[in-house]
Structure 1
Amino acid sequence: MEGDDPAPTSMIDRVVRVLDTFDGSAPLSLSQVVRRSGLPRSSVHRILERLVAVRWLAREGRNYQLGLRMLELGSLALQQNALREAALPLMRGLSASGRHGVRLAVLDGAEVVYLERIEGPVENGAPARVGGRAPAYCTAVGKALLAYAGDDAVREVLRSGLKARTRFTITDPAQFVRELQRVREHGVAFEREEAVRGIACVAAAVRGPGPAVAALSVCGPARQLDFTRLSPAVQQAALRIWSATQARPSLPLRGSEGAPVGDWPTGTLDSWATWPRMTDWL
């Protein structure tokens, strides 16, 4: 590698150069990483030890190999790719049927991250670019995800604060908890101009009998969105995405709490889960 690429000029470039040396299954010694990366020995040693500390690498004696965190990140990337592949045809169908915007998102702490989107004819600045983030508490996808994420995830959101984005944003913790309870009862989440004025969304969780792995939403102008008509369509699409991902036995999906959610037959989406009331937190 030494003669193929220019010398890395930043720490990120050096870390990437070190990680790229692990291109096989065999562990590598410090000397081997130095030779393959073309970096100074002292720099390589510092980078290797830091990567071990954050679990990107593991050390056995004097040798290094890829760590569990790299495996986790790779599994997550595969999961997200499988979700997008399963979701895209259904997202296109939802968008075409009503000329609405459609989004697929996952939960990351107190925020949602958008994995895929199909833009509708009227977006009005709705913040949903692929890879973009938005607060979970004021988005339909966020509510759909948080409703099945567990107590700790909701507490994290409440600790972060429910800041008003518009005059319609739910900012009262007790009201927000009741909103999540309604999502669990009806299987669908609504956003009525809570994140962006003029935009409304309806969302459903992509899940089996456990935490949601993603959420799907349809969005459009608040005065034109037909919640009654769209709700069952979004729920059915979310269920079909879940069923499609479960048809891949080589890819065990994981919920937002990290536990494998396994393979379950169609029709068990909500019947296996009973969810405790959360009003005693407040």
Structure 2
Amino acid sequence: MSAADTGGSQVKSAVRTVELLEYFAGRPGMHSLASVQEAVGYPKSSLYMLLRTLVDLGWIETDATGTRYGIGVRALLVGTSYLDGDEVVAAARPTLDRLSDDTTETIHLARLDGTHVVSLATRQSPHHLRPVTRVGRRLPAHSTALGKALLATHTDDQVRSLLPPVLTRRTEHTRTDREQLIEELHTVRAQGYAVDREENTLGLCCFGVALPSRTPARDALSCSVPVARLTPAHEQMIKDALLAARDRLAPAGRRL
């Protein structure tokens, strides 16, 4: 999003503040003023003043030299507040725990955010070989089981309006043609679950189901398992467990 695209009714300084926070949220670590200015395109003098204001307020932090900038602790407080107040996250907690126990694999609850999915909650696998996950991680919808399960609740035309014709390649297995993805979504709708076979991360297979709390759905559950540990029997058990979890959450979702 750029300030020029937001329309005349929005305040430029507020738009720039949000854009800056989104820039730092998507790029962990510390960044120089020059690199931030190159990315966002604001005049250097006004960018510096905005950064200093956000530093004073705790939304942005600087390193010991005061010349490099990163996301601040207040962003964490707001993110935590969002999760603490979200009714879907609260309703899903027992189901996430049960899925984790039943599958012994890593479980995710995620939400569709434009063309991406954002992790709202996770349960880590007890196995030594497991994916590294974190709440707040943002991944392309088209390359993940979570995202494909959610995209399948949209019409074909809605998917076309949401995604570009050529999709970003994450691995050699990623489907990058939008029309081919739409064909796959037909299968997802029919079977009730989506599969990502090393399309987002090499060595990792994921299975996802959309939660029917609204149409189109915005939340989904998934189970991630290393390919090295995936057998046909284990795969079927994971699919069955996810579908059962979806059905258990359906009554709660209709009340939200």
Q: State the TM-score, normalized to the length of structure 2.
A: 0.61
Alignment match, 2:30: none
Q: 1:123 maps to what in 2?
A: 130
Instruction: Classify 1:78/1:222 alpha carbon distance in 2 versus 1 (closer, same or farther; 3 Å).
Output: closer
Match of 2:248 in 1: 240
Counterparts in 2 of 1:224 and 1:157: CA distance versus 1, 3 Å: farther
Rg larger for:
1
Q: Which amino acid aligns with 2:173?
A: F
**Residues 164 and 178 of structure 2 are in contact (CA less than 8 Å); yes or no, is this contact kept in structure 1?**
no
For the residues of structure 1 that align with 2:169 and 2:96, how far apart are their CA atoms? 29
SS in 2 for 1:116: strand
Once the two structures are superposed, residues 60-81 of structure 1 have per-residue CA deviations (whole angstroms, 9 ceiling, x without a partner) of: xxxxxxxxxxxxxxxxx59971
Is the contact made by 1:105 and 1:113 (CA closer than 8 Å) also made in structure 2? yes
Q: Against the structure 1 CA distance between its residues 78 and 193, is the aligned structure 2 distance closer, same or farther, given a 3 Å change threshold?
A: closer
Instruction: Give 3-state SS (helix, strand or coil) of 2:224's partner.
Output: strand
Q: 1:153 to 1:220 in 2, by over 3 A?
A: same
Amino acid at match of 2:221: L
Match of 1:205 among 207, 210, 227: 210
Aligned match of 1:181: 186
Alignment equivalent of 1:135, drawn from 132, 140, 152: 140
Structural mapping, 1:1-282, within 5 Å: 81-120=86-125, 121=127, 122-125=129-132, 128-151=133-156, 153-159=158-164, 161-207=166-212, 210-225=215-230, 226-246=234-254, 248=255, 251=256
- Unaligned stretches of 5+ residues in structure 1: 1-10, 16-76, 252-282
The equivalent residue for 2:40 is none
1:208 & 1:129 partners in 2: Cα distance? 24
Q: Which amino acid letter does the alignment assign opposite residue 123 of structure 1?
A: R
Runs of 4+ in 1 over 6 A off after TM superposition: none
Amino acid at match of 1:231: K
Give me the whole-angstrom Cα distance separating, in 2, the residues matched to 1:208 and 1:137.
21
Instruction: Quote the RMSD (CA, aligned, Å).
Output: 2.4
Deviation string, structure 1 residues 65-99 (Cα, Å, up to 9, x no partner):
xxxxxxxxxxxx59971111111111111112222
Check conservation: 1:140, 1:190, Cα contact below 8 A.
yes
With over 3 angstroms needed to count, the CA separation of the structure-2 counterparts of 1:208 and 1:94, relative to structure 1, is same
Residues 102, 219 of structure 1: 8 Å contact kept: yes
Alignment check: 8 A CA contact 1:109 1:156 kept: no
Counterpart secondary structure, 1:159:
coil
The alignment-based identity, stated in percent, is 38
AA aligned to 1:182 is: T
C-alpha distance in 2 between matches for 1:223 and 1:118: 20
More helix by share: 2
What letter is aligned with 2:252? A
Q: Secondary structure at the match of 2:190?
A: helix
Q: CA deviation at 1:171?
A: 1.5
Report the residue type matching 1:228 in the other structure: Q
- Would the aligned equivalents of 1:110 and 1:156 in 2 still touch at CA under 8 Å? no
> Structure 2: how far apart are the matches of 1:168 and 1:211?
27
